[in-house]
Amino acid sequence: MDEDTFAVHGALTIKDTPHPVTLSVEHRGVTRDPWGNQRAGFSVSGKINRKDWGIAYNTVLETGGVALGEEVKLTAEIQLVKQVVAAAV
């Protein structure tokens, strides 16, 4: 991984069942918006297996395949805005 790509490790809880996941995060840059706020952008991606959380429902199709795959791809585009906190006097 390069200096703008990171692995984030954590627990994802679905249906009250936590499982460890690792997501890939790419820092997309920092800019100022039209209101003068500093924003940082990130792309997040990863995969999970829905059966790890007990989501096993499926339907067999007429062709013999199944309606749902076990692998779920996760993607997100995130913007964070830096907030300035006034120092206590």
Q: For residues 48 and 74, is the Cβ–Cβ distance under 8 A?
A: yes
pTM for the full predicted model:
0.74
The owner of tokens 């490790």 is 9
State whether residue 53 is helix, strand or coil.
helix
Q: What is the pLDDT of residue 59?
A: 76
Tens digits of per-residue pLDDT, 13-58? 988 999 999 999 999 999 999 999 999 999 999 999 988 988 877 7
Token digits of residue 65 = 């395949």
Q: For residues 74 and 23, is the Cβ–Cβ distance under 8 A?
A: yes
For the domain bounded by 5-81, which CATH number is listed?
Answer: 2.40.128.110
Q: For residues 20 and 11, is the Cβ–Cβ distance under 8 A?
A: yes
State whether residue 38 is helix, strand or coil.
strand
